[in-house]
Amino acid sequence: MHKVLFIDKPKGITSFDLCFKLRKVFNTRVIGHTGTLDPNATGVMVVLLNNACKLNQFLVKDDKTYQGKVKIGIRTDSLDIDGKVLETKTFNNIDFKVLQLKSQEFIGKIKQKPPMVSAIKVNGKKLLEYQKDNQNVDIKARDVEIFDFKLFNFNGDEFEFEASVSSGTYIRVLIEDLLKSIGVFGILLELRRTRVGGVRIEDCDLLEDVLKNNYQLKNPLDILEKKYPLIEIENYKDVSNGKKINLDCKEDEVVLVSKGALLAIYSRESGNIFKCERGLFWK
């Protein structure tokens, strides 16, 4: 069973906990996902079963959409409601229209520093481990892209938002930087991922249903054909050996198939010469 599951992660469990529960449902230890959600966050997770895990490096890059709620006037060490409170302050007469205008300045390619609570490693050690040990570390800013950013439903010290962003974007940092731009601070109260690539929240199964064996598994080919052109290969001996091949096509990345079976993902090396990025042979 080399399939893909779209699931709506519930609040209160880690992404690891979710996969642990699913291992029992599908009777496999080979399981992965294309993007972690914090315990307090909910929403779309794309779960890969068995050999479908080979697709992770291609699906993890998908852009995402989030919806959430922000509380102004509280600062925590994690930038969200789960962290240790460091400071509280009342900010009066916040001009929400100004904040909305500021949000538009973030649209496009920006630099962003990962938060200290992240699992990103510096010198072989996770940032969150540095934080636990009260150690300072130089965090390099990364390139991310904000495609859309909307703020609404302001009530004095809380507001809601929706943001569509590139993979690798930290929403809590985006909110922190936005609030800093008008001289205030706040935290994420709620966060829900409503889209990962072409997968939307309405496409997802609920965990409670999956645990009752009520779910729909997806064929990896159905997902890949929405991202890459499919090229039918008749003689795939060279492909099965991971050799470079000659292809006459416009796209730089393609999925090779034979009679509906996945073979490999190839990318252009130069001219019409394509090299193997990942073999996808499985029964």
* Residue 167 CB neighbours (<10 A): 16
Long-range contacts of 26-32 (CB under 8 A, 24+ apart): 26/1, 28/1, 32/56
Distances from the Cα of 270 to the Cαs of 132, 146, 203, 236, in angstroms?
A: 47, 31, 38, 21
Distances from the Cα of 11 to the Cαs of 61, 62, 199, 207, in angstroms?
A: 24, 22, 19, 11
Contacts of residue 203, Cβ cutoff 8 Å, sequence gap at least 6: 6, 44
Active-site hit among 8, 17, 38, 252: 38
Amino acid identity of 193? R
Amino acid identity of 276? C
First-to-final CA distance of the chain: 9
Quote the CA–CA distance of 222 and 260 in Å, as a whole number: 10
The answer to whether 38 is a known catalytic residue is yes
* Residue positions annotated with a catalytic role: 38
